[in-house]
């Protein structure tokens, strides 16, 4: 019994997808909901799982081919066809002992057989009971039906299959593909993927390999972490992904179609830092999420958008449209490129709700679990380049939005403090906020007033009533 694997609907505006990488090959065993193939769309990259458990019988769409939603990508069957083929060599196996000429080499094949049988275990039922039988199928695992009639060459062949077995050997050339899920697991467990030997097809690193490495020597991995390794991309030329092409096109169009500039303010967030330190343990116990500065920046920006809707507006023809809500796009850095899932009605949320939703959106974005509709409808963007150590930047406004707020890293610096007619120098937690905006409809004074409102809100740090704890 076979079942097709079709390209599912990935959002209202998505009509087609491009196969970027097959995670399984024809003949591989697959479990229910196990990822089969990676597909890229204009909105997001995602993995398509198998609807049933069985064997991947056919691949209908090759890598880099584009098909419409609903098109069949592959055929998964129950494996009845693949299971019958290995039965023939098993039946012929008793004939192999007739070639009893190699008594001396017999021990060698017996020891090498388990190694060669590891890759063959997927397509073949594990029934190498007779000792002479394993060398015969192991000699030529791919064209199993043909060599079944040639038991004689199977004796000298054990030495040849050993080098031929790297189908599962982690003989990576440096370009071994790692799924986002495995890469995130490695990051969470502190495992250096460059030192993990993959046991999957073609040497692919699986989740089990990362878990095994995490349980092993972690001290060696930690010691190697500070070493800045040379990227395998150095000196290469690779085609841009579909997502990268879309981002590139939108960035150029946005810069050419709008008049963009950036205004920067410096904010003293010492009071926010103090509040955060006081409640961060209780906050994590209550919400299951770590408390960073980003939820405070996001809420302050959302509240300021209600007071200064021109920052939240967009141009449609010769009109300026003011949305009735503050849907904030949160920039998420992924290995595939920049994605901006949307935090809806942000001005109505508490700090706890914002922190939880940002964490959820970021995790699902990096794991390819985001639906395209969750990337649509943003009216304003917040990008936290401070998480990578940047003091500030001048982010690009992506049309049709009219503004984007960049938040820098919070650092302790000596600051001149004035009070009681005297000046003093104190250590304060400071941050730069940079607002890029479309000067066609937003003036510099508008930008300054908007940033001033955020500055006042953060320096006062009166967030007790909106913590949500």
pLDDT tier at 401, thresholds 50, 70, 90: very high
Express each pLDDT in 252-296 by its tens digit. 999 999 999 999 999 999 999 999 999 999 999 999 999 999 999
pLDDT tier at 120, thresholds 50, 70, 90: very low
Percent of the residues in the chain that have a pLDDT greater than 70, as a whole number: 74
Residue 150 is predicted with a pLDDT of 44
What CA–CA distance (Å, rounded) separates 40 from 252? 21
**Catalytic-residue membership of 45:** no
For 217, residues 6+ apart whose C-beta sits below 8 A from its C-beta are: none
Sheet containing 54-59, strands listed edge to edge, beginning at the edge strand earlier in sequence: 2-6, 72-77, 54-59, 29-30
Express each pLDDT in 160-175 by its tens digit. 444 433 333 343 344 4
Express each pLDDT in 178-195 by its tens digit. 666 678 788 888 888 888
Q: What is the pTM of this model?
A: 0.59
pLDDT, greater one: 70 or 92? 70
**Catalytic-residue membership of 325:** no
Percent of the residues in the chain that have a pLDDT greater than 90, as a whole number: 42
| Catalytic site residue from 393, 443, 446, 464 | 443
Look over the chain and give the mean of its residue pLDDT values, rounded to a whole number.
79
DSSP 8-state assignment for residue 333: E
Residue 413: which of 264, 263, 268, 294 has the closest Cα? 268
| Catalytic site residue from 64, 439, 446, 464 | 439
Please report where in the chains the tokens 């017996």 appear, as a residue.
110
Q: Is 90:83 a contact under the CB 8 Å cutoff?
A: no
The phi-psi region of residue 417 (left if phi > 0; otherwise alpha if psi is between -120 and 50; otherwise beta) is beta
């Amino acid at each position: 019994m076979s079942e097709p694997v079709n390209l599912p609907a990935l959002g209202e505006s998505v009509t087609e997808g491009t196969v970027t990488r097959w995670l399984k090959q024809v003949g591989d065993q697959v479990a229910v909901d196990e990822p089969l193939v990676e597909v890229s769309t204009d909105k997001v990259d995602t993995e398509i799982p198998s609807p049933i458990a069985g064997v991947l019988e056919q691949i209908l769409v090759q890598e880099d081919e584009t098909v419409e939603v609903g098109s069949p990508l592959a055929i998964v069957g129950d494996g009845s066809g693949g299971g019958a083929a290995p039965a023939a060599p098993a039946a012929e196996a008793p004939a192999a002992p007739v070639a009893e000429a190699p008594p001396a080499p017999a021990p060698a094949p017996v020891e090498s057989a388990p190694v060669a049988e590891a890759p063959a275990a997927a397509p073949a039922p594990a029934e190498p009971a007779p000792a002479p039988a394993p060398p015969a199928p192991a000699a030529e695992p791919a064209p199993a039906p043909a060599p079944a009639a040639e038991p004689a060459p199977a004796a000298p062949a054990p030495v040849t299959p050993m080098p031929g077995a790297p189908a599962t050997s982690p003989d990576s050339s440096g370009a071994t593909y790692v799924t986002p899920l495995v890469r995130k697991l490695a990051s969470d467990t502190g495992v250096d993927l460059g030192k993990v030997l993959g046991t999957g097809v073609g040497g692919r690193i699986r989740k089990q390999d990362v878990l095994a490495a995490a349980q092993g020597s972690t001290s060696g991995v930690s010691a190697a972490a500070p070493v800045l390794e040379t990227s395998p991309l150095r000196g290469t030329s690779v085609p841009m992904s579909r997502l990268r092409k879309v981002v590139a096109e939108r960035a150029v169009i946005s810069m050419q179609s709008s008049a963009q500039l950036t205004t920067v303010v410096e904010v003293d967030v010492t009071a926010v830092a103090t509040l955060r330190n006081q409640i961060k343990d209780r906050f994590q116990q209550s919400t299951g999420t770590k408390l960073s500065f980003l939820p405070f920046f996001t809420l302050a920006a959302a509240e300021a958008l209600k007071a200064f809707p021109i920052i939240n507006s967009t141009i449609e023809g010769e009109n300026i449209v003011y949305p009735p809500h503050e849907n904030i796009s949160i920039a998420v850095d992924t290995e595939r490129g920049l994605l901006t899932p949307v935090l809806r009605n942000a001005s109505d949320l508490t700090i706890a709700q914002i922190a939880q939703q940002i964490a959820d959106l970021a995790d699902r974005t990096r794991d390819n679990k985001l639906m395209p509709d969750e990337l649509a409808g943003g009216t304003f963007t917040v990008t936290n380049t401070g998480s990578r150590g940047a003091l500030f930047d001048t982010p690009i406004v992506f049309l049709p939005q009219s503004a984007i707020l960049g938040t820098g890293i919070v650092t302790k610096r000596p600051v001149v403090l004035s009070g009681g007619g005297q000046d003093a120098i104190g250590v304060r937690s400071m941050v730069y906020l940079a607002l890029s905006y479309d000067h066609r409809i937003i003036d510099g004074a508008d930008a300054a007033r908007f940033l001033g409102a955020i500055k006042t809100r953060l320096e006062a740090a009166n967030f007790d009533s909106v913590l949500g704890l």
